[in-house]
Structure 1
Amino acid sequence: MIQSACYKVAGHVFKVSASADLCDKLFSECMDNYEPFAVPAVHDSECLFVMDVECGDAPEYTEELRQDEEGQQILCGTIQDKSVFDFRLHFKMTGVLVCAKDYKTAKLIVPPDEPLSLFKFAVNNAMMVLYAIASASCNTALFHAAVVSYKDCGYLFLGKSGTGKSTHARLWLKHIAGTDLLNDDNPVVRIFEGNRAVVYGSPWSGKTPCYKNQEFALGGFVLLSQAPYNKIVRLRGVQAFAALVPCISGKRWERVIADGLHKTENALAMNVPVWHLECLPDEEAARVCKESVVL
């Protein structure tokens, strides 16, 4: 018997299902971070995507691109007209995601008797990648960022890995009363009619377990870079756009996805303040940032 569950992240509902041999492993041991986002079952036609999880041998595919960051690899490829994502941890295959052309349905194939830690790694990465791609044409962007809430607004801290996004978020939590952490790695941003931008928590939060089903008006983006001083400036136009693009997940070499992301990025850059903070990892940096970005 197949068991399934539905989750809603940033207003988008998706479904994950598994055959009987994987149900307990998936739903009892791997989905704690999704529980705050659980919703009653809906028909497949109402879902952003439906992902099935099953055991089996990894399919052969034609590799197109690979990404490698902090010991985690994603190999991207194709099988005929289907997209493939091969998730590896320290070069060990954990699962292969095979997606329909429209990304509405997908199958995650995992090795039999896979250790729980590798299984969970594959499931989380598969759903995060599928969510980012399937929502790209829905005025939605999955960011690589830390985000805090303060006075009913959310503020995203952007930057390359190791720049200090999480550190700066912790400085706000420590030194600016009334600040809360919304997500530490992968928040979702949507822009609505009238250019109203909203940031949401998600089930994906990196090494910090922060899985909050909350939303806030988007107050601004802050691009961080390390420096021996604290200085913040407002970015506008092309500079603002360029600050956002590297921080958004998506399959940019596929035109429909790239066009959707470009539309969202352009709307955000034009309507949400974007700042560049050159900073030290200290209290002054948090206060300099807060005094500029909070209206």
Structure 2
Amino acid sequence: MVNSFTMRIAGLVIRINHIHDSIRELCRDYAIDSAGSADGAYADGAVTSQTMPDCTISVTRQMIERERERERADAGIWPDDYLETLAVLRAIAERLPALNRTVFHGATITYKGRAYVFTAPSGTGKSTHIRLWRRYLGSKMQVINGDKPILEFVDSGADADVDAAVIAHATPWAGKEGWQTAQAHAPLGGICIVTRGTRNICRRIDPQTALPWLMPQIYMPNDSAAAIHTLDLMDRLIRNVPVYLLDCDISEAAVHASRSAMCGEG
């Protein structure tokens, strides 16, 4: 019997054929079919044009073993059910460019109706900066996703020369803190590259300066056509979304710096 469920994520309907139950549990807040259904039947008993999958992911043992090889450098023994969650994310990320979406590495919040992504190499301090925003702004801001949001590129029309928006979406892959608000999304107002320092200065940088910082943070598919499409999406991202470089410590002044630069207030 095939274990499967269907979820809605980043405006897409994705069917997951899986081996272990951990992936279903991870994605429970995104599921749109009946809980515990072994055959993936929809809760209303009918497949409609709104619930037909945009893509289907079928996990294999080989996919899990490939994730084990990738994670081996981190030491430790990773259980199959955890590796399956990584395999599903990777499989989705490989499909996304064809659907004008990409997985991005960054902690993402909403503030006054706009999304802001804080990105940096792992261990640099993006999660710490999000904690500071939560500490000093409380309910005025909301965390969309703590680690792996999906960015959706929305065209303003077939004859338009510019993009209407980039939308940041929540996903279940939310980092070790598990910060996410299921199904949350908002137009992307800015990307902030977090660096450690003492000056608490945030300044906008041009696309040419931003590109080397951002390229390692976007998922690059193995498929060559999807990789080329991803490069096109990156070009759209840096042309249409302001990018900022933040030099900060762990203080309220750091929040003031990034908030003032990106939101025009402090």
TM bucket (normalised to shorter chain) is: 0.7 to 0.9
2:131 corresponds to? 170
Q: Which of the pair is proportionally richer in strand?
A: 1
1:35 corresponds to? 28
One-letter code aligned to 1:244: L
Higher RCO, 1 or 2 (CA under 8 Å, sep at least 6)?
A: 2
Shift of 1:4: 1.6
5 Å matches for 1:63-212?
85-88=66-69, 89-90=71-72, 118-177=79-138, 178-194=140-156, 195=163, 196-211=165-180, 212=182
Consecutive unaligned residues of structure 1, counting only runs of 5 or more, are: 60-73, 76-84, 95-114
Q: Distance in 2 between matches of 1:145 and 1:92?
A: 20
Shift of 1:181: 1.4
Q: Distance in 2 between matches of 1:2 and 1:231?
A: 53
Question: Over aligned residue pairs, what C-alpha RMSD do you find?
Answer: 2.7
Shift of 1:223: 0.5
Residues 84-137 of structure 1, C-alpha deviation per residue, up to 9 Å, x if partnerless?
x3434446999xxxxxxxxxxxxxxxxxxxx9x712211110111111111022
> CA contact under 8 A between 2:103 and 2:150: conserved in structure 1?
yes
Q: Per the alignment, do residues 259 and 54 of structure 1 end up closer, same or farther by CA in structure 2, a change over 3 Å counting?
A: closer
1:3 corresponds to? 3
Q: Per the alignment, do residues 156 and 92 of structure 1 end up closer, same or farther by CA in structure 2, a change over 3 Å counting?
A: closer
One-letter code aligned to 2:25: D
Q: TM-score, normalised by structure 2?
A: 0.81
> CA contact under 8 A between 1:163 and 1:225: conserved in structure 2?
yes
> CA contact under 8 A between 1:176 and 1:287: conserved in structure 2?
no
Q: TM-score, normalised by structure 1?
A: 0.73
Q: Distance in 2 between matches of 1:233 and 1:92?
A: 34
One-letter code aligned to 2:29: P
1:47 corresponds to? 53
Q: Distance in 2 between matches of 1:221 and 1:149?
A: 12
- 2:209 is aligned with 1:239: yes
State the SS of the aligned residue for 1:156.
strand
Residues 189-220 of structure 1, C-alpha deviation per residue, up to 9 Å, x if partnerless?
11101321110100101101234211111110
Q: Distance in 2 between matches of 1:210 and 1:270?
A: 28
Q: Which of the pair is proportionally richer in helix?
A: 2
1:284 corresponds to? 253
> CA contact under 8 A between 1:138 and 1:260: conserved in structure 2?
no
Q: Distance in 1 between matches of 2:173 and 2:243?
A: 24
> CA contact under 8 A between 1:146 and 1:157: conserved in structure 2?
yes
Q: Distance in 1 between matches of 2:23 and 2:227?
A: 31
> CA contact under 8 A between 1:145 and 1:165: conserved in structure 2?
yes
> CA contact under 8 A between 1:86 and 1:93: conserved in structure 2?
no
Picking from 184, 188, 195, the partner of 1:218 is 188
1:80 corresponds to? none
Q: Distance in 1 between matches of 2:52 and 2:68?
A: 27
Runs in 1 of length 4+ with deviation above 2 angstroms? 29-33, 40-43, 45-55, 85-94, 240-244
Q: Distance in 2 between matches of 1:54 and 1:271?
A: 38
Q: Provide the aligned length of Structure 1 versus Structure 2.
A: 240
One-letter code aligned to 1:128: L
